[in-house]
């Protein structure tokens, strides 16, 4: 007997999401995780280490495809900023340390570039001293304050008005999409299920657990982990009286061309204010420069538009740090909403009176940094709700993938000799090959859209923003999923690029339309 109020009228075609369209049966999972952003994916990875049946429900057609995981600064913060004694402080530092090992084990693109907080006045220098004290209380012992001369030697392009800077060597930059995908794929390889296009519409308490109604049917679970990000309060309130409220804010960003990628070599901040860490200037793992974010309530929780006023504000503030930034080299502007809550700190706890319902909510910055430690804490809470469960024997803890652009000439030649598909360049800007796209399509979570391929391989992220590689990717996706070109998505459900009236010629070789 179903507990669903209703099912979505349209189900995803079985050809889209091959390997993820398992029948939803009557078996009860030990744990169902709602949401597959970075926190949900980390929880799935951690729980897949144990003899548990685990399923992840994600409303989008891909993991890490919405919310803060999709659009953020891509920084693993050192951990000096959160107030000592908070969950944010402890889990930031622990999570960053876990992350460094995960990046190695799961072959995730990252750079330990360190961060600088700039001072421009005596008040700012006092703020740096306080951040240094906070960092040490949070467990960081490698930080120090640089003189003006040391700061300019480390970053010649910062403002000559700088008077000092706080150096945190452990800060890193990462590809957050790759990070999320690697965790989710590894969880699948260890027995977890990830069910896409499975937005939760209702939850009912039943004997021994919960019945969860999704767009693809009903799932039952002994224990629920709520990692729904911007919708964590909505998910919680489906079963319980409200305990917290998500109060999202929107951050807008510039992504500049690789010509600006060496403008700075550290993540560069100004002193934090009441709005958070403020506007940063940072390199990316792809060799670009990211500048942002702004900070404002979005009004509509789904509003990820950029605005002329906020983009102008970002420019003005960023130039106080790095005056020479060439914003004419901007190749994309974007925005994302962050799941701040009315509690201030992270919410990682059982729902009141229900040990079998665990909220991972209010995960604002430094959520990306803290995610692995949040997942460990979530697993501890699950252990309080379920009978004892042992660690899994033979857990798969490693993952590797081909990154053609990172290979030297001899490695490339050897790879192409083994498989000529790696000799066919699909994306000239990012040097992505057809072999890499094929690998992504045959991975545990294959992409169903152009942006899905981009999140996995980097296609379309360069100067031409997909003008060269887009047509060939259309053909590859259509062929793999057995669909018409007009059914290929740009990103989310319904975001089609072509209409049935569009006429295109062959896209072989990557020619533009």
Residue 447 · residue 455 · CB < 8 Å: yes
| Closest to 261 in 3D by CA, of 103, 388, 429, 127 | 429
Which is the catalytic residue, given 3, 77, 104, 350? 77
**Omega before 336 cis (within 30°)?**
no
HEC letters along 85-117: CCHHHHHHHHHHHHHHHHHHHCCCCEECCCEEE
Q: Which helix (H) or strand (E) holds 478?
A: helix 470-481
Residue 80 · residue 140 · CB < 8 Å: yes
User: What are the backbone dihedrals phi and psi of residue 399, each rounded to the nearest 5 degrees, phi first?
Assistant: -155, 140
Between CA 209 and CA 219 the distance in angstroms is 11
DSSP state for residue 190 in the 8-state scheme? T
Between CA 335 and CA 209 the distance in angstroms is 37
Dihedral angle, C-alpha 342, 347, 350, 351, nearest 10 °: 20
CA atoms within 13 A on the CB side of 478: 16
Between CA 232 and CA 246 the distance in angstroms is 7
Per-residue tokens: 186 = 């590894």
Tell me the CA end-to-end span of the chain in Å, nearest whole number: 51
Dihedral angle, C-alpha 283, 289, 294, 298, nearest 10 °: -100
Q: What residue ranges in 257-373 does DSSP mark as E strands?
A: 267-270, 280-283, 289-292, 330-338, 347-351, 354-361
Other beta carbons within 10 Å of 458: 24
Catalytic status, residue 77: yes
Other beta carbons within 10 Å of 161: 13
Residue with tokens 């004892």: 388
Between CA 366 and CA 130 the distance in angstroms is 19
> Strand pairing of 144-147 and 289-292?
unpaired
* 35 φψ region: left (φ > 0), alpha (ψ -120 to 50), beta (else): left
**Omega before 293 cis (within 30°)?**
yes
* 397 φψ region: left (φ > 0), alpha (ψ -120 to 50), beta (else): alpha
Between CA 407 and CA 432 the distance in angstroms is 12
Sequence-distant contacts of 417-423: CB under 8 A, at least 24 apart: none
Q: Which residues are catalytic?
A: 77
């Amino acid at each position: 007997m179903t507990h669903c109020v209703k099912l979505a009228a349209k189900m995803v075609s079985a050809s889209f999401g091959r390997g993820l369209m398992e029948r939803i049966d009557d078996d009860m999972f030990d744990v169902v995780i709602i949401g597959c952003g970075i926190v949900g994916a980390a929880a799935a990875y951690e729980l897949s280490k144990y003899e548990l049946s685990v399923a992840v429900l994600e409303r989008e057609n891909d993991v890490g495809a919405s919310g803060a995981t999709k659009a953020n600064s891509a920084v693993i913060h050192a951990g000096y900023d959160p107030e000592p004694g908070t969950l944010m402080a402890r889990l930031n530092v622990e999570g960053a340390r876990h992350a460094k090992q995960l990046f190695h084990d799961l072959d995730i693109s990252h750079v330990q570039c360190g961060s600088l907080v700039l001072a421009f006045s005596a008040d700012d220098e006092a703020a740096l001293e306080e951040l240094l004290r906070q960092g040490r209380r949070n467990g960081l012992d490698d930080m120090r304050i640089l003189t003006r001369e040391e700061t300019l030697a480390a970053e010649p392009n910062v403002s000559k008005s700088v008077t000092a800077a706080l150096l945190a060597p452990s800060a890193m930059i990462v590809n957050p999409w790759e990070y999320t995908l690697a965790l989710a794929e590894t969880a699948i390889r260890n027995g977890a299920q990830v069910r896409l296009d499975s937005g939760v519409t209702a939850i009912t308490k039943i004997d021994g657990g919960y019945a969860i109604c999704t767009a693809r049917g009903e799932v039952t679970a002994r224990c629920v982990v709520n990692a729904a990000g911007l919708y964590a309060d909505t998910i919680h309130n489906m079963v319980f009286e409200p305990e917290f409220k998500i109060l999202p804010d929107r951050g807008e960003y510039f992504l500049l061309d690789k010509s600006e990628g060496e403008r700075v070599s550290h993540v560069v901040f100004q002193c934090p204010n009441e709005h958070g860490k403020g506007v940063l200037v940072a390199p990316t793992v792809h060799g670009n420069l990211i500048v942002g974010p702004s900070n404002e309530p979005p009004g509509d929780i789904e509003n990820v538009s950029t605005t002329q006023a906020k983009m102008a504000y970002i420019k003005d503030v960023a130039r106080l740090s790095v005056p020479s930034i060439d914003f004419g080299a901007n190749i994309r502007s974007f925005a994302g909403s962050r799941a701040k809550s009315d509690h201030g700190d992270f919410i990682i706890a059982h729902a009141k009176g229900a040990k079998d319902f665990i909220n991972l909510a209010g995960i604002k910055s430094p959520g990306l940094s803290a995610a692995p430690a949040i997942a460990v804490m979530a697993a501890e809470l699950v252990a309080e709700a379920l009978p004892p469960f042992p660690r899994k024997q033979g857990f798969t803890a490693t993952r590797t993938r081909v990154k053609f652009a990172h290979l030297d000439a001899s490695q490339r030649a050897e790879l192409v000799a083994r498989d000529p598909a790696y000799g066919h360049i699909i994306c000239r800007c990012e040097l992505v090959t057809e072999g890499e796209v094929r690998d992504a399509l045959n991975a545990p979570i294959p992409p169903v859209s152009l942006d899905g391929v981009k999140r996995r391989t980097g296609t379309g992220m360069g100067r031409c923003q997909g003008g060269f590689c887009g047509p060939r990717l259309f053909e590859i996706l259509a062929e793999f999923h057995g669909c018409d070109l007009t059914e290929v998505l740009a990103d989310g459900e319904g975001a089609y690029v072509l209409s049935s009236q569009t006429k295109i010629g062959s896209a072989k070789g990557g020619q533009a339309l």
